[in-house]
Each structure stands twice: as structure tokens, then as C-alpha cells.
Amino acid sequence: MKFGKRLKQQIEETLPDWRDKFLSYKELKKLVRLISSSPTLLNGSVEYGKAAEAEFVYLLNNEIEKFNAFFMEQEEDFIIRHKELQHRIQLVIDMWGPSGTQPNSETIYKEEMGKIRKDIVDFHGEMVLLENYSNINYTGLAKILKKYDKRTGGVLRLLFIQKVLEQPFFTTDIVSKLVKECESLIDAFFPAKVEEKQRELVSEAVNLGRQGIFRNTVAALMTMQEIRRGSSTYSQFSLPPLNLPDSQHHDLVQLIQLNPSIPIV
């Protein structure tokens, strides 16, 4: 699948409030085509070439500012929500757990922990979507810069990508750490054997397959696998292959691959 179509599909499959935060790939592609086909550029005008490149870089910088503002806002929100989830778990344990302050009620305890578990799963899904947001926008920038250099004879990609690698939206360490801690919460407070875990995932997929977060998360994971897959076209501008160890990530993708009837679109 061509990147433009993949990006369009990913935008359609993400959360509604996120859809205008992605790379304006189609518009940038049109600009590259316009610049490269200009008679002035074809005739070798140095002045026009510099002006066109300056306009192109200006638009790219605006896109990066958009990515950073959105990414940092989401990251801050995730940090707060993660702490709130930890607090909720401890509160339920302190009130209705085996040594809780309230009359021991296994029913209330299970109900409250069930609500928290659902919120953790949704939260986990949103963080995966943000990781994918970083991946796909970086990939789009690398591809549009490659088109620009190829069509105009410029050498913009290397220097610009070096700048991109230092941007907040590209640095997903905090989000990745929160994802792992979220998975640890699930393992610690909602343990399940491998077989039970798979049955539970299948059940959830069937029930939630037509709802936003689950469907969008799986679509994001599959997109990340695709754009980060090692191939003969791998270069210094490519993201490394995505490694999915025994985690919620791997379970979700494997679930869809083994159960193709589960809807994700």
C-alpha cells in the first residue's frame, strides 16, 4: 500500500479529535510537484530554487510545531491519568479488599476493579495510538523529503531529519514507559493464564470490535508493524523494525491475525 493511502486510512481509523493533527501529506506532495515542474526551476534559477525551498521548509516546520504541541499535550494528560488509575486501584483495595475499611464485599470489589480494568485497557489503547502517531508522521516527513530531493535535486532530507530526531513528538520514551507500566498493572491486579488471556481477548474483541478504542488500537499496531518492517528498502531514515514481545501489543496483533473475522474497520 502506498504511504498516502496508508496515512489516509490511519487518519480515518484514529480518534475523531486527532484527525486534523496528522501530516498534511497530500498538500505537501502537491507543493513538491508544483515546485519541481516550475519552468523557473527547470531553467536553473538559483533564486527561485532558494525561495521555493524556504517556503517548503517553512511549511514543514509548521507541521512539526503541530505535532509537538499535540504530542506533548497528550503525553502530559497520560501521565496524569496513569497516576489517577494507580490511585483508584489502591483506593478500591483499601476500601473493599480483604483488609479494607468497608464491610468486605467481593461483589463490589469485582465491579469496581472491572471498571478500572476497562479504563486501563482503553488508556493503553490511546497510548498505542500516540506511539503510532509519532511513527507515521515521522515516516511521512521522511518520504516527502525524499520526494523533494529527488524531484528538485536538493539535499534537504539529511539535515532536516536530523532536526526531526530531536523533536518531542519523535521521542516516545515516556509514553513507551507508561505503556509498559500499564501492562504491568494489568498483570499485577488482573492476572490470567495464557489460555485464559487469549480467550478473554477473543471475547473482548468480539464485543468491542466495532467500537473505537479497541479497533483503532489494533489498526495502529498493524500499521506500526508495516511501516517499521525491515526490507530491502531499509535506510538510515527508516524506523527500526517493531519488536512485540510477550505483551498486550503482541496479543492484540496475533489475535487479529488468527481471527480475521473480528472487525477492525
Residue 193 is assigned to a structural domain of this protein: yes
Residue 51: Cβ within 10 Å count: 13
Lowest mean pLDDT among 51-55, 75-79, 244-248: 244-248
Residue 55 is assigned to a structural domain of this protein: yes
When comparing pLDDT for 2 and 257, which is higher? 2
3-state secondary structure of 92: helix
pLDDT in tens, 129-173: 999 999 999 999 999 999 999 998 889 999 999 999 999 999 999
Residue 264 is assigned to a structural domain of this protein: no
pLDDT in tens, 55-109: 999 999 999 999 999 999 999 999 999 999 999 999 999 999 888 888 768 889 9
How confident is residue 210, by pLDDT bands cut at 50, 70 and 90? very low
Residue 61 CA: distances (Å) to CA of 29, 48, 66, 98, 131: 15, 20, 9, 55, 21
Contact 148, 156 (CB under 8 A): yes
Work out the mean pLDDT of the chain and round it to a whole number: 79
The single-letter code of the amino acid at 106 is E
* Residue among 143, 126, 138, 81 at smallest CA distance from 221: 126
Residue 265 is assigned to a structural domain of this protein: no
How confident is residue 214, by pLDDT bands cut at 50, 70 and 90? low
- The span from the CA of 229 to the CA of 248, in Å, is 19
Residue 77 is assigned to a structural domain of this protein: yes
When comparing pLDDT for 121 and 242, which is higher? 121
Average pLDDT rounded to a whole number, residues 243-259: 46
- The span from the CA of 125 to the CA of 186, in Å, is 13
Domain count, the chain: 1
How confident is residue 20, by pLDDT bands cut at 50, 70 and 90? very high
Contact 28, 59 (CB under 8 A): yes
Buried residues in 33-44 as b, exposed as e (16+ CB within 10 A) = eebbeeeebeee
Residue 17 is assigned to a structural domain of this protein: yes
Domain that includes residue 228, residue range: 2-258
